[in-house]
Structure 1
Amino acid sequence: MRLRNSVLAATSAIALVLAVPVSANAAVGDFLYKVGPGVPAGIADPASGGCVNLPYTTEEDPGFAPQNLTASTATVFRDFDCGGDTYAVMKPGMRFGDRLEVRSVRFS
């Protein structure tokens, strides 16, 4: 009887751990921006903590007009790989205009 209770408790604990969503370390929501001649682009549920180079941005054509529609603070950078000077810190829900150039972002 005790063995059965121990197995049941261990199985329940494993099931609980596996039920936790993988996105626990993600900035839930969307980070939107524009590229080229104003084409919308974005990333959904980006990972927190690491640097994300923004897709479709290049040295010649950075992203612009970022919108932080995630639940996390976003730090946007003008350079790739979150290098160079920090350009701006965006709280959740914050939007910037077309003049802000971005190529990478890090979420807290």
Structure 2
Amino acid sequence: MRLRNAVLSVASAVALVLAVPMSANAATGDFLYKVGPGVPAGIADPESRKCINLFGATEMDPAFAPENFTGSTATVFLDFDCKGDVFYVMNPGKKLGDRLKLRSVIFS
């Protein structure tokens, strides 16, 4: 009888763990920016804790005017691969002007 109760308890605990939804590993929302002569670009629901090199940004022409409409903090970098000493932290809902240049971003 005790063995049956123990097995039932373990099975119940496993079922409970599997039933609880896992949190998504994404920054829900949109991260918008511009490339070239003001051409809009963006990322929808970007992956968290992964460096993203921005589409359209080049060595000669970085992206600019970022807008963080995700639910996560975005750290934008002037250099590719989220490297370098030039970066800016953007809280959710933050918009920055055309003067801020960026080539990569990572979300919390």
1:20–1:87 distance in 2 versus 1, CA, 3 Å: closer
TM-score w.r.t. length of structure 2: 0.80
Q: Does 1:92 align with 2:95?
A: no
CA distance in 1, matches of 2:13, 2:92: 39
Q: What's the offset of the Cα at 1:85?
A: 1.1
CA distance in 2, matches of 1:56, 1:47: 19
Residues matched between the structures, number:
105
Show the counterpart of 1:72.
72
CA distance in 2, matches of 1:61, 1:86: 16
Runs of 4+ in 1 over 2 A off after TM superposition: 8-17
SS at match of 2:47: coil
TM-score w.r.t. length of structure 1: 0.80
- RMSD between aligned residues: 2.3
C-alpha contact (below 8 Å) 1:28/1:70 kept by paired residues: yes
Larger radius of gyration: 2
Q: Does 1:16 align with 2:19?
A: yes
Show the counterpart of 1:32.
32
Paired residue type of 2:84: G
Provide structure 2 residue ranges, at least 5 long, that are not aligned to the other structure. none
Identity level (%): 62
